[in-house]
Copies of this chain bind each other. A is one copy, B any other.
Amino acid sequence: MKQHTRSKPDIDSLAEGVFSGDRVAMGQAITLIESNLESDQQPATKLVAKVLPKSGNALRIGITGVPGVGKSTFIETFGKYLVNQGKKLAVLTIDPSSPLTKGSILGDKTRMEELSKHPSAFVRPSSSGQSTGGVAHKTREAIFLCEAAGYNVIIVETIGVGQSEIAVSNMVDFFLLLMLTGAGDELQGMKKGIMEIADAIVITKADGNNLKNAVEAQSMYQQALHLFPASESGWHPTVLTSSSLTGNGIEEIWKAITKHYDLVKSSGYLLKNRSKQNVAWFHDRFMQLLNKDLKQFKEIENAQKKLEIEVSNSTISSESAARQLLDAYHKALRTMKS
């Protein structure tokens, strides 16, 4: 087996570096958290345990939208507005790294160029080549880390299409959906159900010749939102417009987000929701680890593939297949342990 040559990070000093807001330490810490190496898991867990008590003090915002909607330029403009307001802003990207989305990752270095250089902003480019499944959990732990470093607004941005929106909505306090004026082909890649869980929809590129259309779209979407079920938080989702060119609408968006934040903070919904999110992530992560555990047995992986084909063809029922797979798992564990 190939030896990993990177020197073992000293977790205590890494944590101290994070607490002092040292960017190099933060970068190393996130790299450690994101690592898939088995030898990194224990120090990563130790690091997260250290930062966890200092986390929780930021407003967490999720931002999603189909490619072409202008996510990067929106975050650049919105982010600069926030840091100019005295906020400390961290921007994290969640990216399931399917081969299909590799294109958008390439642009990462030049994305949010000005924001990246601002002393009050920490922009973490997406790490490519991650295995799927655990990616969202790692992003979630990176949130805690940024909070422990003193960032008080965290933006989690999705890259890719229809893979991670739900995951992001489950790790933030406010979920923002960016949309274009039209409502046709550009919606193709959008996952069903996303509109209904958005706390706000922002129609982007509301400038020049597009302004009139954007205002019309705003009104249409606002009407549609009235038809949706109410949010458990008591918040009524709102539709706004923005221009990354003129900066119009940016202030209103921040006002809506802080209004929501004040509401859920005073009602107790914020903490209740975060607790619920924590438990849901625990269950989800446990299931992921179990699945990974199964995959260590070649015979189970083969059995699963075979069963999937049979179930897919209706040759056997999903119930019967599930029972066979559980039996195979028990048998494999028994054989291994004896």
| Residue ranges of A at the interface with B (Cβ–Cβ < 8 Å) | 41, 45, 48-49, 52-53, 55-56, 137, 140-141, 144, 183, 187-197, 220-221, 223-224, 226-231, 274-276, 278-279, 281-282, 284-290, 293, 307-308, 311-323, 325-326, 329-330, 333-334, 337-338
Contacts and interface: CB of A to CB of B under 8 A. Distances in A.
A314 B52 CA distance: 7
Given A190-B229, A313-B275, A286 B49 contact: no
Contacts of A278: 311-312, 314, 318
B317 A52 contact: yes
A48 B319 contact: yes
B228 A188 contact: no
Contact of A192 (B197, B317, B320, B323): B197
A293 B229 contact: no
A315 B220 CA distance: 44
A56 B325 CA distance: 24
A310 to B, nearest CB: 9
B318 A192 contact: no
A316 B191 contact: no
B282 A308 contact: yes
Given A137-B318, A188-B230, A281-B318, 5 more contacts: A192-B231, A195-B228, A220-B223, A286-B326, A334-B337
B293 A326 contact: yes
Contact of A48 (B53, B230, B317): B317
B187 A228 contact: yes
B188 A320 contact: no
Number of copies: 2
A320 B49 CA distance: 8
A95 B137 CA distance: 33
A226 B183 contact: yes
Nearest to A307: B282
Nearest to A51: B317
Contacts of A196: 192-196
B322 A285 contact: yes
A306 to B, nearest CB: 12
B317 A49 contact: yes
A187 B322 contact: no
Contacts of A230: 187-188
B141 A317 contact: yes
What 8 A-B pairs are tightest by C-beta distance, nearest first?
Answer: A193-B193, A224-B224, A285-B322, A281-B318, A282-B318, A286-B322, A190-B229, A187-B229
B45 A317 contact: yes
Contacts of A314: 52-53, 55-56, 274, 278
